[in-house]
Every structure is written in structure tokens, then in C-alpha cells.
């Protein structure tokens, strides 16, 4: 910092301690700017050329940072830097330099081009040149060459984002147009038949009931469309809060299927379930149930009377679980297959018994599965049926030990890890740490001490069961004294075993293995 600046500081700040702090801050800022300026030279190099019978060009040593070649390497090439210019840019740069050296390019000019560096990678450069004249003739020049690859890549990224946003905007406009029509259409039916019912007293009861049925169906279709629109909107805007937990897939699918009993009975359709025991996923119960329900509802809708639908699940690659729903209904035409899951090509058609649909169901399903970090795809043949596949992350295999004694959890953790090697052992010393972990991931088994400071075992398990609605987590409580009082404390929380804290390692391993089967 110069004397003038110090004098100015003396005038502005009388307090010596404060002045020292300000000086330190200024020096730190100056150092930061100098460091930033110095680091920028990693992407810059310079040239100087003298023009006589030949052109003698010298390159600064920093060219190696950009091109991967030293200045000597470049100067020994037959055409110097031009030797490594990208072949698609070579002719353009040669014509540019010809104009510049003839004096037609003015005193200062610039050109951008690509080179191929020593690693065979493409590097984008911008060269700013300044000519030296003598009697109107160019006798030399100097230039500053900057690596603009990052800037160019950022520009490409921005252009790609802008293009996708424009496409999304067009899609949104088309979607709004389609939805506006779909929202309006049922009201024409509802208002038309309502007006007849209100004004025509001569209608027979059969006709009246028929018109009421049309109004009911139109209202139901409208409600279905609005519900799907609201679901889709909440998912897209992040207003639907996802709560991933460890879920027993067999229980979840069984519950979904049972809720569709009314639909299957009307068409005498059988849904077979082939879900292995102890297949656990990490997902949001409500949203996944909604997605599976929509896929099964579609399978029922497009299946014939007295037919069969199957839903199966198994382990898939990459730590995922695959769920497959297969029907033997009318299938999907090749033309309509292109429209599935696409917002701007929403379509719907009637089922085998004339069932109407909103056309939004699979769009919402796709949004749900994407949010759950899964994937969805399908196979379909017109006249033969369809097969929908979804993947969902598999729950991690973990055993959580909760005990205030560090020695105890380390000792038991080592024994369990050796005897049950495919499970990750999580060790915590209190209920709060256990809940913090459970908030992220529900384990397969929890081994909790009955007596713990701050939060005892019963209090911990009550909070766990609030989250674990399907009782998918097996719980072992270890108590110093197993008696009626202890048993009564846990009876409403569905605990698998209450064992003595002095249990042998072999018995504990045997108990855990039985729970994991």
C-alpha cells in the first residue's frame, strides 16, 4: 500500500488498532486479486513476430499450459502454431493471416480458432493481434492468445438450456391448450343433461336415470382429471414432500391390490402376485402406492372380462428392485406408444367396457417414479397386451445397535459383522443418534438397550414405529431384567424379542438370522 493511501487512512481513521485491521483487510484483498491475476496466466500465452524474408515467431513459455507443447516444440514445427490448428479452421485462419500481414486487417484485429493439444484434445483460442508498420507495410506483430474453451463450453451449455426452455415453453402451451379443451368438454355434457332434467317434466324415469348417469360419469371424469393435474403440479413444483422409508414391497403391493378389488370383481379379473418375501425398498409409501395403483388400474381398464393380470417383483441391477405389471388386454398401437409419458401429446381412450380416462395417469406415474429415483418403461403389442416395468431403489441391509456403552457396541458390532457379513453395522450410543440415522434410512434390524440415558428403549421404539407403519423393521430389546413390567412396557409397540442383556453371542446371532429370513 503506497504512502498516499496510508496518509488517506491516517486522515480517515484515528484509532490505531482499527487502522491496522483495515490495512490487513486491504492487503489481503490485494493479495487475492494478485493471485487471481497470476492464475489467469495459466490460460494465456504471447507471441512476437518479425517479418523479413521469412516470418520469425517467438512464443512465451506459458504456451505449454494451453497447448501442452513447449515454445521450442512449436517453433520447430514447419508451420509453427498453424501446424496444430484444427483442420476445419486451418484455411480460414490462413486467409485471415494473409489479409492481416498484407495490411488489410488494420492495426488491431482478432480471430478465434481451435487447436489440437498434446493430449489430442480440442482447445478453443482467441488471438488478439497488433501490427507494427513501417511505411505502410507490416514488419511485425505481437499477439495475446487466450484459452476460451471454458467460456465457449459455458456458452454452449447456456444455449442448450435456452433451447430446452423454449421447447418446454412450447410443450407447456400445447399442454395448456389440450387441458383447456379436456376441462371444458365434460361440462358440455353435464350442463346439457342438467338443463333437460330441469326443464322437461315429461321425461320417463328410465330416461331421467340415464341422464343422471351421464352427469355422474362426466363429473367423475372431471374430478379424476383435476386430481391428476393437482398431483402432477405438486410434484413438478416440489410441494409434495417425499418421505422415503424402508418398505416391505410384498405388503405394499398386497394393500394396493386389495383396494382395487371393486374394479376386478366387475370384470371378473384375477390379479396374481409374485413378490418374494423380505424384498425391501427405500421409497415414499404414498407416492409409490399411487403409481402402482394407476398402472394396475390401466391394466384392468384395458383387459377383457375373465382375464388375468400379474404383478411381480425381483432384484434388478444397480441396487434397484424391478416391479412388472403384465396384462393380456387390447395393447397399445405403435402410434400411441410414442405418446405415452409425453406432456404435449396427452391422449386417452376407452377401456374394454367403455371406461373413460383422463389421459393424465401415466404422465403423473412417470413424474412420481422420476422423483423416487427410479425408471419406467413398457412393452406392448396391439391385440396381445402390455407389460409395464418400474424400478425403485432397494433398501440397504443394515443392523442398528443402540447402547450407551461404547465397548458393548464395538464388541457386538464386530461379532455380528463377522457372522452376518452382508449387512452394514451401524453403532450409536443414544436414542437421538438412532433417530437421526433412521430419518435417513430404516435398518433391517434394531438391537436396542432397554435402559439408556435421555431416552429409554420404549420411548425410542414408540418413535420408530410412528415412522415404520408397516412394521418392516425387526426390533430386539436387551434388558438387564426381563420381567412382566418390562414386557408390559413394550407390548403396544410390536417388539420381536425382549432378551436378557447377558445373552450369548451365538444366541444373539441365531435370533438375528431368524428375523432376517
Residue 160 CB partners (closer than 8 Å, separation 6+): none
E-strand ranges in 327-397 read 375-381, 385-393
Tens-place pLDDT, residues 434-459? 999 988 888 889 999 999 988 999 99
Q: Would strands 137-147 and 122-134 be described as parallel, antiparallel, or unpaired? A: antiparallel
Q: Would strands 55-59 and 244-248 be described as parallel, antiparallel, or unpaired? A: unpaired
Give yes or no for residue 300 having a pLDDT over 90.
yes
Quick check: 235 and 241 in contact, CB under 8 A? no
Joined together, the cell numbers standing for residue 120 give 489430442
> pTM to 2 decimals?
0.58
Distance between CA atoms of residues 347 and 57, nearest Å = 67
Quick check: 49 and 56 in contact, CB under 8 A? yes
Quick check: 289 and 243 in contact, CB under 8 A? no
- CA dist 101 to 73, 74, 138, 402, 495, Å? 24, 20, 6, 80, 88
Burial 10-20 (b: 16+ CB within 10 A, else e): eeeeeeeeeee
**Among the ranges 15-19, 201-205, 312-316, 357-361, which has the highest mean pLDDT value?**
312-316
Give yes or no for residue 3 having a pLDDT over 50.
no
Sign for the CA dihedral angle at 277, 283, 289, 293 comes to negative
- CA dist 498 to 284, 399, 465, 486, Å? 30, 17, 16, 8
Tens-place pLDDT, residues 362-402? 888 898 999 999 999 999 999 999 999 999 999 888 999 99
Pick the residue with more confidence: 270 or 1?
270
Joined together, the cell numbers standing for residue 329 give 388386454
Quick check: 477 and 499 in contact, CB under 8 A? yes
Q: What pLDDT is attached to residue 180?
A: 62
pLDDT bracket for residue 1 (50, 70, 90): very low
Distance between CA atoms of residues 369 and 231, nearest Å = 13
CA 409 to chain centre: 35
Distance between CA atoms of residues 378 and 193, nearest Å = 39
Give yes or no for residue 37 having a pLDDT over 80.
no
**∠ Cα 210 214 220 (to 5°):** 140
Distance between CA atoms of residues 473 and 442, nearest Å = 7
Quick check: 495 and 448 in contact, CB under 8 A? no
Of 168, 179, 135, give the one whose Cα is nearest residue 360. 179
Mean pLDDT score of the chain:
84
Quick check: 300 and 404 in contact, CB under 8 A? no
Q: What pLDDT is attached to residue 168?
A: 67
- CA dist 328 to 115, 272, 305, 321, Å? 59, 13, 11, 23
Helices (H), strands (E): how many in the chain? 17, 17
Query: Starting from the edge strand earliest in sequence, which strands make up the sheet with 55-59, in order?
Result: 55-59, 44-51, 137-147, 122-134, 108-116
Distance between CA atoms of residues 146 and 387, nearest Å = 55
Query: Going from the N-terminus, what domains does the chain have, and what CATH number goes with each?
Result: 1-147 (3.30.450.20), 170-237 (1.10.287.130), 246-393 (3.30.565.10), 398-516 (3.40.50.2300)
Q: What pLDDT is attached to residue 392?
A: 95
Residue 336 CB partners (closer than 8 Å, separation 6+): 347, 349
Say what percent of the chain tops pLDDT 70: 86
Quick check: 468 and 435 in contact, CB under 8 A? no
Query: What average pLDDT does range 212-219 have in this prediction?
Result: 78
Q: What pLDDT is attached to residue 4?
A: 44
Specify the range with the lowest mean pLDDT, choosing from 63-72, 146-155, 256-265, 401-410: 146-155
- Cell 504512502, located at residue: 3
| 3-state SS, residue 263 | helix
| 3-state SS, residue 236 | helix
Q: What pLDDT is attached to residue 309?
A: 95
Tens-place pLDDT, residues 314-351? 999 988 999 999 999 999 988 888 888 876 666 678 88
Say what percent of the chain tops pLDDT 90: 40
Of 395, 516, 498, 510, give the one whose Cα is nearest residue 447. 498
Query: What average pLDDT does range 413-430 have in this prediction?
Result: 92
pLDDT bracket for residue 38 (50, 70, 90): very low
Specify the range with the lowest mean pLDDT, choosing from 20-24, 147-151, 227-231, 358-362: 20-24
Pick the residue with more confidence: 41 or 274?
274
Query: Starting from the edge strand earliest in sequence, which strands make up the sheet with 424-428, in order?
Result: 424-428, 398-402, 445-449, 474-479, 497-500
Tens-place pLDDT, residues 122-173? 999 999 999 999 888 989 999 999 998 888 888 888 888 888 777 767 666 6
pLDDT bracket for residue 2 (50, 70, 90): very low
Q: Please, is 67 exposed, middle or buried when counting C-beta atoms within 10 Å of its C-beta (0-12, 13-18, 19+)?
A: buried
Residue 34 phi, psi dihedral angles, 5° rounding: -65, -40
Query: At 124, which helix (H) or strand (E)?
Result: strand 122-134
Quick check: 263 and 300 in contact, CB under 8 A? yes
Of 402, 382, 362, give the one whose Cα is nearest residue 231. 362
Q: What pLDDT is attached to residue 497?
A: 92
What is the radius of gyration, based on Cα positions, of the chain? 36
Q: What pLDDT is attached to residue 19?
A: 56
Angle between helices 285-301 and 361-371 (to 10 degrees): 150
Q: What pLDDT is attached to residue 191?
A: 81
Q: What pLDDT is attached to residue 328?
A: 94
Joined together, the cell numbers standing for residue 219 give 363429473
Give yes or no for residue 14 having a pLDDT over 70.
no
E-strand ranges in 197-257 read 244-248
Distance between CA atoms of residues 350 and 360, nearest Å = 14
Pick the residue with more confidence: 74 or 163?
74
Residue 278 phi, psi dihedral angles, 5° rounding: 55, 40
Q: What pLDDT is attached to residue 445?
A: 93
Distance between CA atoms of residues 169 and 151, nearest Å = 26
Give yes or no for residue 410 having a pLDDT over 60.
yes
Amino acid at each position: 500500500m503506497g504512502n498516499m493511501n496510508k496518509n488517506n487512512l491516517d486522515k480517515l481513521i484515528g484509532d490505531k488498532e482499527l487502522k491496522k485491521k483495515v490495512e490487513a483487510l486491504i492487503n489481503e484483498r490485494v493479495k487475492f486479486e494478485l493471485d487471481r491475476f497470476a492464475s489467469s496466466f495459466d490460460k494465456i500465452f504471447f507471441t512476437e513476430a518479425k517479418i523479413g524474408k521469412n516470418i520469425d515467431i517467438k512464443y512465451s513459455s506459458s504456451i505449454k499450459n494451453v497447448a501442452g507443447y513447449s515454445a521450442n516444440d512449436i517453433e520447430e514445427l514447419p508451420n509453427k502454431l498453424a501446424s496444430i490448428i484444427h483442420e476445419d479452421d486451418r484455411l480460414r485462419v490462413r486467409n485471415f493471416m494473409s489479409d492481416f500481414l498484407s495490411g488489410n486487417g488494420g492495426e488491431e484485429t482478432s480471430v478465434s480458432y481451435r487447436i489440437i493439444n498434446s493430449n489430442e484434445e480440442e482447445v478453443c483460442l482467441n488471438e488478439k493481434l497488433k501490427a507494427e508498420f513501417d511505411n505502410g507495410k507490416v514488419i511485425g506483430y505481437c499477439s495475446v492468445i487466450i484459452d476460451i474453451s471454458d467460456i465457449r463450453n459455458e456458452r454452449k451449455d447456456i444455449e442448450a438450456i435456452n433451447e430446452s426452455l423454449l421447447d418446454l415453453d412450447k410443450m407447456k402451451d400445447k399442454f395448456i391448450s389440450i387441458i383447456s379443451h379436456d376441462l371444458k368438454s365434460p361440462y358440455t355434457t353435464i350442463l346439457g343433461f342438467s338443463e333437460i332434467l330441469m326443464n322437461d317434466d315429461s321425461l320417463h324415469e328410465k330416461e331421467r336415470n340415464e341422464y343422471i348417469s351421464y352427469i355422474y360419469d362426466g363429473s367423475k371424469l372431471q374430478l379424476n382429471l383435476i386430481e391428476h393435474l393437482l398431483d402432477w403440479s405438486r410434484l413438478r413444483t416440489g410441494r409434495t414432500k417425499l418421505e422415503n422409508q424402508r418398505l416391505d414391497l410384498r405388503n405394499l403391493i398386497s394393500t394396493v391390490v386389495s383396494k382395487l378389488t371393486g374394479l376386478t370383481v366387475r370384470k371378473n379379473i384375477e390379479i396374481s402376485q409374485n413378490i418374494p418375501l423380505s424384498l425391501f425398498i427405500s421409497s415414499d409409501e404414498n407416492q409409490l402406492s399411487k403409481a402402482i395403483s394407476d398402472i394396475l388400474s390401466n391394466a384392468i381398464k384395458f383387459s377383457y372380462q375373465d382375464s388375468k393380470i400379474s404383478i411381480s417383483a425381483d432384484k434388478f441391477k444397480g441396487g434397484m428392485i424391478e416391479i412388472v405389471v403384465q396384462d393380456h388386454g387390447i395393447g397399445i398401437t405403435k402410434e400411441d406408444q410414442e405418446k405415452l409419458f409425453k406432456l404435449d401429446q396427452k391422449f386417452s381412450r376407452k377401456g374394454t367396457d367403455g371406461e373413460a380416462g383422463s389421459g393424465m395417469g401415466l404422465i403423473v406415474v412417470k413424474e412420481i417414479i422420476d422423483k423416487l429415483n427410479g425408471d419406467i418403461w413398457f412393452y406392448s403389442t396391439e391385440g396381445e397386451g402390455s407389460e409395464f416395468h418400474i424400478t425403485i431403489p432397494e433398501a440397504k441391509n443394515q443392523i442398528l445397535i443402540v447402547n450407551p456403552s461404547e465397548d458393548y457396541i464395538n464388541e457386538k458390532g464386530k461379532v455380528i459383522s463377522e457372522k452376518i457379513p452382508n449387512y452394514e453395522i451401524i453403532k450409536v450410543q443414544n436414542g437421538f443418534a438412532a433417530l437421526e440415522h433412521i430419518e435417513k434410512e430404516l435398518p433391517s434390524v434394531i438391537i436396542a438397550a432397554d435402559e439408556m440415558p435421555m431416552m429409554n428403549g420404549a420411548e425410542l421404539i414408540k418413535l420408530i414405529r410412528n415412522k415404520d407403519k408397516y412394521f418392516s423393521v425387526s426390533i430386539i430389546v436387551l434388558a438387564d431384567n426381563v420381567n412382566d413390567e418390562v414386557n408390559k412396557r413394550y407390548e403396544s409397540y410390536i417388539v420381536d424379542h425382549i432378551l436378557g442383556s447377558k445373552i450369548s453371542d451365538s444366541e444373539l446371532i441365531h435370533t438375528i438370522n431368524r428375523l432376517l429370513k
